């Protein structure tokens, strides 16, 4: 394979990631409504730590990178949830 072939593969993976990210954010928006209705906080540190531990174990030697990826996902999910909750006020 040459560099262009690798880049095409990365582009294809990125498209899949973007679709999955969009779906994850849709679910986060639904969670925001659920939490608001029940008076639950947006941030659940115990849940985030459990997920980080689980995903890190699944990632093996890529654990530090996977954990950072999930920290970014959590941050974006919380930002969207907070935005949705403010819009509904």
> CA 66, CA 72: separation in Å to the nearest integer?
10
The per-residue pLDDT for 10 is: 98
Tokens 């095409």 locate to 8
The per-residue pLDDT for 78 is: 95
CA 56 to chain centre: 14
CATH code, domain with 30: 1.20.59.10
> CA 88, CA 77: separation in Å to the nearest integer?
17
Is residue 36 within 8 A of residue 46, CB to CB? The reply is no
Count up the domains in the chain and report the number: 1
pLDDT in tens, 30-67: 999 999 999 999 999 999 999 999 999 999 999 999 99
The per-residue pLDDT for 66 is: 97
User: What band does 88 get if pLDDT is binned at 50, 70 and 90?
Assistant: confident
Is residue 36 within 8 A of residue 85, CB to CB? The reply is yes
In which domain, by residue range, is 43 found? 3-87
């Amino acid at each position: 394979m040459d560099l262009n072939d690798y880049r095409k593969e990365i582009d294809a993976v990125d498209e899949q990631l973007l679709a999955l990210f969009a779906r994850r954010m849709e679910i986060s928006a639904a969670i925001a409504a659920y939490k608001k209705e029940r008076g639950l906080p947006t941030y659940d540190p115990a849940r985030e730590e459990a997920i980080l531990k689980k995903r890190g174990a699944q990632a093996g030697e890529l654990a530090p990178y996977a954990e950072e990826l999930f920290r970014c996902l959590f941050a974006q999910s919380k930002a969207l949830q907070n935005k949705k909750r403010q819009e509904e006020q």
